[in-house]
Amino acid sequence: MLLAEPQSTPADFHFHIGRIPVRVTGWFWPAAGLFGWGLAQSLAGDNTRTLLIYLGVWVLVVFCSILVHELGHALAFAASGQSSRIVLYHFGGLAVPTGMPAPALKSPLRRLAVSAAGPVAQLCLAIVVVAIVMMLG
């Protein structure tokens, strides 16, 4: 199944955002780099140093973007009384509910809110980034 959580490996990086555990699989980083390789190469031309800088920035942006998206889902789960964890992997990310299912999540409206929370979080991030870029000129 495409959206199944990948198994844990020694290459995984673990941290917490508040009470939400986050796991970044070892394959997330090369997959993000491979995904941005063509763009970085077209911007950098023949300059290897510039290519590596663009690639590093790309991977950081992909990491932050997917993390914010999954954090939106995880915070909506928390608002519904459901604990969860975040996994970033080579296909993107997952907010995985943990523990006993929260009774509030039986409501279709509440499940819709959890589903919409990821894109809404990314939209908020985009608004902040655009505002900063506009302020900096």
Task: Please provide the DSSP assignment of 97-134 as one string.
Answer: EESSPPGGGGSHHHHHHHHHHHHHHHHHHHHHHHHHHH
Residue 19: inside a domain, yes or no?
yes
Residue 43: inside a domain, yes or no?
yes
Is residue 29 predicted with pLDDT exceeding 80?
yes
Domain limits for position 93: 13-136
Q: What is the number of domains present in the chain?
A: 1
Residue 7: inside a domain, yes or no?
no
What radius of gyration, in Å, describes the C-alpha atoms of the chain?
17
Note the pLDDT of residue 87. Answer: 98
Residue 3: inside a domain, yes or no?
no
Residue 8: inside a domain, yes or no?
no
Residue 89: inside a domain, yes or no?
yes
Note the pLDDT of residue 4. Answer: 80
Contact residues for 66 (Cβ-Cβ < 8 A; gap 6+): 88, 92, 93
What number is the average pLDDT over the span 40-67?
A: 95
Mean pLDDT for the chain? Answer: 94
